[in-house]
Amino acid sequence: MIRVEGVQHRFGAMQVLHDVWFTVPKGTVFGFIGPNGAGKTTTLRMMATLLEPDEGRILVGGYDVVERPNDVRRVLGFMPDGFGVYERVTVAEYLEFFASAHAIPLDKRKRTVEAVMELTDLGPLRERLVSAMSKGMKQRLAIARTLLHDPEVLILDEPANGLDPRARIEMRDLIEQLQQLGKTIVLSSHILTELSDMVSAVCILEKGRVLASGPVDRIGQQLRPEQKVARAVKVRLLSYPEGCDAPFRELPDVAHVERGPDGFLRIAYHGGDETVAAIVARAVGAGLKVVRVEPERDDLEQIFLEVTRGELQ
Ligand SMILES: Nc1ncnc2c1ncn2[C@@H]1O[C@H](COP(=O)(O)OP(=O)(O)OP(=O)(O)O)[C@@H](O)[C@H]1O
Ligand SMILES: [Mg+2]
């Protein structure tokens, strides 16, 4: 749905992006992650036709952002970082204003605004002045505004920035709903954990270069192809009969099995999710009662820390 191909950009003498490549498949929730100054906002603004690349090209929904900016704007909704909202209007007025700015015909406008308020749970706040809204509510209003022309692609720059845990969960639920509607969503953040439960693929950018991109489980392999260190899962069982670790040792990709400090089985393995599936199948086949299987550490977090080599603040 989005292709970024060899993009370079300078501001004056400073090269901000060096040969950036990545793709975002249709229907994906994609995390664009990197420390401050990495070039995330610059890249997102190019996707949104607000800035032109010096080299390379960007396609959104098949349209080149430089050659077909109007087509791109039709299929894309962009929420800038630190989105300013007009303060002295109500939620409904605000959305109606932008619906008219999008040239949505009068007879459709009311329905569109209602539908967007319903989706973003802003209905009960319709008469609320924007100036009297919390940051989390304003953030939802900012997303609502990008949805008015029903774009297929949403680009949200730092949507979870500054939200409290509850507002963040609401944001995650909204993103999930939007994904179910078939939208392709790009979210940026400099904090990986802010996105790790929302995204299925990422691009990690540092100092204007892509360090890794693609589906989360493939990124681990990209970065560590000859991976000597195994990953591990914790398997929790209803009970741990004598010898319950034995069936796992027979699996070819299992490197090590032990009982962890709180009783669970810790199974170190090579490979990806297929090995995890084989571990679960073996447990069930051996008559063990599996309660829970979880990665030992957040994969995304681990990858991020490794590739940014502690340069992240
Ligand atoms: N309009 C501009 N003029 C000059 N330099 C700029 C401009 N916009 C961005 N830069 C510089 O380009 C680099 C990348 O900035 P960008 O805003 O894309 O980073 P970012 O990854 O979004 O960072 P943050 O996490 O802080 O939002 C930075 O060094 C920044 O100072
Ligand atoms: Mg930014």
Pick the ligand that lies closest to the CA of residue 18. Answer: 1
Topology of the domain comprising 224-304: Alpha-Beta Plaits (3.30.70)
Place of tokens 């319950």: 244
Which of 11, 17, 33, 83 for a ligand 1 pocket mutation test, highest count of atoms within 8 Å of Cβ? Answer: 11
Residue from 42, 192, 204, 207 whose mutation best tests the ligand 1 pocket (most atoms within 8 A of CB): 42
CB 294 within 8 A of CB 234: yes
In ligand 1, the atom with minimum distance to the C-alpha of 205 is 21
Residue nearest to atom 25 of ligand 1 (CA): 36
Task: Please give the distance, rounded to the nearest whole angstrom, from the Cα atom of residue 18 to the centre of ligand 1.
Answer: 14
CA of 300 to the centre of ligand 1 (A): 24
pLDDT digits (tens, 9 = 90+) for 278-296: 999 999 999 999 999 988 7
How do 2-11 and 14-24 pair as beta strands? antiparallel
The residues near 186 (Cβ < 8 Å, ≥ 6 apart) are: 2, 24, 30, 32, 44, 47, 153, 154, 155, 156
189 Cα–ligand 2 center, Å: 8
CA 128 to chain CA centroid, Å, is 30
| Residue 215: predicted pLDDT | 82
Q: 157 CA distance to ligand 2 centroid (A)?
A: 7
Q: Could you tell me the pTM of the whole model?
A: 0.77
Could you tell me the distance, in angstroms and rounded to a whole number, from the CA of residue 218 to the centre of ligand 1?
29
Residues at CB less than 6 angstroms from ligand 1: 11, 16, 34, 36-42, 81, 190
pLDDT tens for the 313 residues of the chain, in order:
999 999 999 999 999 999 999 999 999 999 998 888 999 999 999 999 999 999 999 999 999 999 999 999 999 999 998 766 677 899 999 999 999 888 888 889 999 999 999 999 999 999 999 988 988 889 899 999 999 999 999 999 999 888 888 888 888 999 999 999 999 999 998 876 677 778 889 898 989 999 888 887 676 666 554 444 567 889 999 999 999 999 999 999 888 898 877 778 989 888 888 899 999 999 999 999 999 998 876 555 666 666 665 443 3
Domain ranges of the chain: 2-221, 224-304
Expressed in angstroms, the distance from the first to the final Cα of the chain is 32
Residue nearest to atom 7 of ligand 1 (CA): 11
Which CATH architecture does the domain made up of 2-221 adopt? 3-Layer(aba) Sandwich (3.40)
Ligand 1: residue of 15, 16, 36, 211 to mutate (most ligand atoms within 8 A of CB) is: 16
Residue nearest to atom 10 of ligand 1 (CA): 11
